[in-house]
């Protein structure tokens, strides 16, 4: 997804910028105060730019999407080398059906195999294969290197710590049903 929050139009806005400058504002346009707007718009723009870059690198080198890598890696490094479909969906930011189709895809490439769950016939295990473990290792290594160079290294340790606090304050305000 990438979706943005509307920003007041900049007349004949420049063609290149990731975040519109928002210097020229039309009277009457609802806006957020500057500090808030920069924090919010930058959040969206940064997410968009970073995930696009990471997706592109992974796709080119390993034929994996971020979601596929997430699934593959979680199965690969589970102590049992297998994980039930539902448990896969829970930790990831993915729906059950998406996980089912991702596993289809990875199974088609011989990176994962499905097998029945003996203790609960409803369940299905996703098993990592040798090829899957090997690819997961290389892809994850590359991916973390990318995250370091694009996200970690441009920031100070203190900024990273503060980001962690911010996410903690923002998350988990969804009371269950």
Q: Is residue 2 close enough to count as binding DNA by CB under 7 A?
A: yes
Using the minimum distance from each CB to its own copies, give the nearer residue, 87 or 113.
87
CB 102 within 8 A of CB 119: no
As a whole number of angstroms, the distance between CA 101 and CA 171 comes to 28
Question: How far apart are alpha carbons 143 and 160 in whole angstroms?
Answer: 18
Between CA 87 and CA 79 the distance in angstroms is 14
Helical segments of the chain, H only? 34-62, 66-76, 85-91, 96-108, 130-147, 157-170
Distance CA 79, CA 58 (A): 25
Q: Which is nearer to DNA, 114 or 133 (CB)?
A: 114
Question: Choosing among its own copies, DNA, none, which partner's interface includes residue 168 (Cβ < 5 to 8 Å by kind)?
Answer: its own copies
Contacts to DNA from residues 7-66, by CB under 7 A: 59, 65-66
Q: Which of residues 39-98 bind its own copies (CB under 8 A)?
A: 39-40, 42-51, 55, 65-67, 69-70, 72-79, 83, 86-87, 90-94
Virtual torsion, Cα 45, 47, 53, 59, nearest 10 deg? -140
Residue 96's binding partner, choosing from DNA, its own copies, none, with beta-carbon cut-off 5 to 8 A by kind? DNA
125 phi and psi, to 5 degrees?
-90, 145
In the complex, minimum distance from the CB of residue 34 to its own copies, in angstroms, rounded to a whole number: 9
Nearer to its own copies, 73 or 103 (CB): 73
CB of 156 to DNA, least distance (A): 30
* Contact pick of 56, 59, 116, 155 for its own copies (by CB under 8 A): 155
Residues near DNA (CB under 7 A): 1-3, 59, 65-68, 84-87, 89, 93-105, 114, 117, 120-124
């Amino acid at each position: 997804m990438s979706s943005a929050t509307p920003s007041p139009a900049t007349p004949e806005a420049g063609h290149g910028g990731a975040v519109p400058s928002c210097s020229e504002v039309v009277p009457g346009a609802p806006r957020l105060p500057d500090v808030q707007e920069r924090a919010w718009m930058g959040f969206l723009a940064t997410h968009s730019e970073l995930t696009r870059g990471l997706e592109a690198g992974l796709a080119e080198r390993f034929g994996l999407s971020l979601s596929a890598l997430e699934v593959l890696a979680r199965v690969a490094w589970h102590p049992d080398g297998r994980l039930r479909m539902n448990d896969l969906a829970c930790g990831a930011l993915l729906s059950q059906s998406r996980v089912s189709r991702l596993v289809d895809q990875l199974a088609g490439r011989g990176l994962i195999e499905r097998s029945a769950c003996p203790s609960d016939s409803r369940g299905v295990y996703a098993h990592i294969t040798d090829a899957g473990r090997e690819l997961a290792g290389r892809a994850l290594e590359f991916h973390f290197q990318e995250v370091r160079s694009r996200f970690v290294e441009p920031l100070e340790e203190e900024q990273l710590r503060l980001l962690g606090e911010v996410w903690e304050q923002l998350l988990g305000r969804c009371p269950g049903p």
